[in-house]
Structure 1
Amino acid sequence: MTLDMKDQPIQRTGRKFAQVLEGARVVFMAKGFEGASVDDIAKEAGVSKATLYSYFPDKRLLFSEVVRTECQRQCEATGAGVDFHENHPPAESLYAGARMIIASYLSEISQQMFRICVAEATRFPELGELFYQSGPMIWRTDMRSYLQQATARGDLAVEDFDMAADQFIELCKADLLLRAVFLNETEFSEDEQHRVAAAAVDLFLAKHGR
């Protein structure tokens, strides 16, 4: 049964609410939903189990609140989205966008949320949508908008804006994303990120450039 946050009220007031939430975040991110115990969370948060239950009577509810809070943080970290420097030539605009997309998906918060949402997708299917909306959907929307404007100006020749936006974003993930996810690499050099961004732009312009 999928948990709906409307099913149970959450007491978001009280001096220890943030303390409980932060303790839960640390434990859930380290151990996942199944591996985290209420005892672990209470100890990390520095509160009693009674205090924890006064805010969150159910571990599922606490986990959902942690993920929702982290997705909101990711959305805020994304800020105004992807800036494609629209007044610049297409190669420069696309490169600027590519670097922002790469930096976003390689960020610590994005990697944490990606792993936990994938790991708990069966138990919490609604969390995948939250993750998508807090990051990937923002990139896609901004990319599509830029492509429409650039095509209208005659700078690019794009017919299917949705497909082109998705393909460009995927090009920006080449090599680095899989290394981050499967090899747990966390540091990528300027040269590595430039290499991926520049190659993404070259391939994209070969198809859609004027």
Structure 2
Amino acid sequence: MTKPKITKLKLGTARRGRPPLEKAGEVEDRILQAALQVFIARGYEGASIDEIAEVARAGKPSIYNRFTSKEILFKEVVLRWAQRSNEMATSTTAGTIQERFETAGILILQRAINDETVGLIRSVIGEATRHPSLATTIHYAMRAHGTATVKKLVAELAEADEIKSLPAFAPDNLEATARYFNDLVFLPMLMSSLFHADLTFVKGMMEKHAREAATFFLSGCGYRHEPAKAGGRE
């Protein structure tokens, strides 16, 4: 089977030799972006430093000076991706507490469920038997990044008068509460996306799923939504 072609990263005028100090971070970013593309397309075993160097338009010595093995490069690619993908801007201050949790759930899914994310997670899963330590380390690091981000969302929402007195939203419980919310919202959609080559169907289910997950989550936390009075908004 012919390997799919991966487009080389676009650069300005190329200069040979060691990059100046102010360009060193730029070279590292380029290597990581190229590695991300190659790992998604080829998987961990199928990816080669040669191809990553070609896509990044960087020499192999430049890569090995920064990442001493393919395993270390792969781990850094996934952790950098997890950190950046979890840097979400929040806009959950409008509406009822129910609507705000629904919006938070939709934000999580819109940021997380895409071809890049799913491709990278498939690559990690593919290494679970061949490189169990690597896959396990990445799994827990990704989970920690996701929980930390969702905790910020939940902490913001926990200030609302309707729920701030509930035990689930006490400061000592916020991390566990955030993890449960993330699991309810994200994991079912992730599992579905892993089994769909085309994510169109999964993306079409996001909003409905986020609303249902928010309702179930708030109920489990002890929040009781009171229907609007006659003539008011439901």
Tell me the TM-score normalized by structure 2: 0.64
Q: In structure 2, how many angstroms separate the alpha carbons of the residues matched to 1:22 and 1:185?
A: 23
Aligned residue for 2:95, secondary structure, equals: coil
Amino acid at match of 1:123: S
Superposition deviation, residue 205 in structure 1: 4.2
Q: In structure 2, how many angstroms separate the alpha carbons of the residues matched to 1:106 and 1:157?
A: 33
Aligned to 2:133: 123
Percent identical residues: 24
Q: In structure 2, how many angstroms separate the alpha carbons of the residues matched to 1:136 and 1:14?
A: 28
Amino acid at match of 2:184: L
1:189–1:15 CA distance, 2 compared to 1 (3 A): closer
Report how many residues are paired. Answer: 193
Superposition deviation, residue 106 in structure 1: 1.1
Aligned to 2:15: none
Q: In structure 1, how many angstroms separate the alpha carbons of the residues matched to 2:74 and 2:186?
A: 28
Amino acid at match of 2:106: R
What whole-Å deviation, never above 9, does each CA across 1:73-92 have from its counterpart, x for those lacking one?
A: 2233x24xx4432x632222
Higher mean displacement: 115-124 or 94-103: 115-124
- Does the 8 Å CA contact 1:75/1:134 hold for their aligned counterparts? yes
Aligned to 2:54: 43
Aligned to 2:16: none
1:69–1:105 CA distance, 2 compared to 1 (3 A): closer
Asked whether 1:159 is paired with 2:133, we answer no
Bigger Rg, which one: 2
1:165–1:120 CA distance, 2 compared to 1 (3 A): same
Asked whether 1:107 is paired with 2:114, we answer yes
Amino acid at match of 2:190: L
Amino acid at match of 1:176: M
Q: CA RMSD in A?
A: 3.4
1:108–1:136 CA distance, 2 compared to 1 (3 A): farther
What whole-Å deviation, never above 9, does each CA across 1:132-171 have from its counterpart, x for those lacking one?
A: 2333331134225523x23xx2447733344544443333
Amino acid at match of 2:35: A
Aligned to 1:181: 194
Q: In structure 2, how many angstroms separate the alpha carbons of the residues matched to 1:14 and 1:94?
A: 38
Give unpaired runs (5+ residues) of structure 1: 1-10
Tell me the TM-score normalized by structure 1: 0.70
Q: In structure 2, how many angstroms separate the alpha carbons of the residues matched to 1:15 and 1:141?
A: 30
Superposition deviation, residue 96 in structure 1: 1.4
Q: In structure 1, how many angstroms separate the alpha carbons of the residues matched to 2:152 and 2:204?
A: 28
1:181–1:190 CA distance, 2 compared to 1 (3 A): closer
Amino acid at match of 1:182: F
- Does the 8 Å CA contact 2:85/2:112 hold for their aligned counterparts? no
- Does the 8 Å CA contact 1:102/1:172 hold for their aligned counterparts? yes
Q: In structure 1, how many angstroms separate the alpha carbons of the residues matched to 2:144 and 2:201?
A: 25
Superposition deviation, residue 120 in structure 1: 4.0
Superposition deviation, residue 180 in structure 1: 0.7
What whole-Å deviation, never above 9, does each CA across 1:85-132 have from its counterpart, x for those lacking one?
A: 2x6322222221121122122134443443344444623243233322
Asked whether 1:196 is paired with 2:209, we answer yes
- Does the 8 Å CA contact 2:184/2:213 hold for their aligned counterparts? yes
- Does the 8 Å CA contact 1:90/1:156 hold for their aligned counterparts? no
- Does the 8 Å CA contact 1:91/1:201 hold for their aligned counterparts? yes
Q: In structure 2, how many angstroms separate the alpha carbons of the residues matched to 1:93 and 1:187?
A: 25
Give unpaired runs (5+ residues) of structure 2: 1-20, 225-234
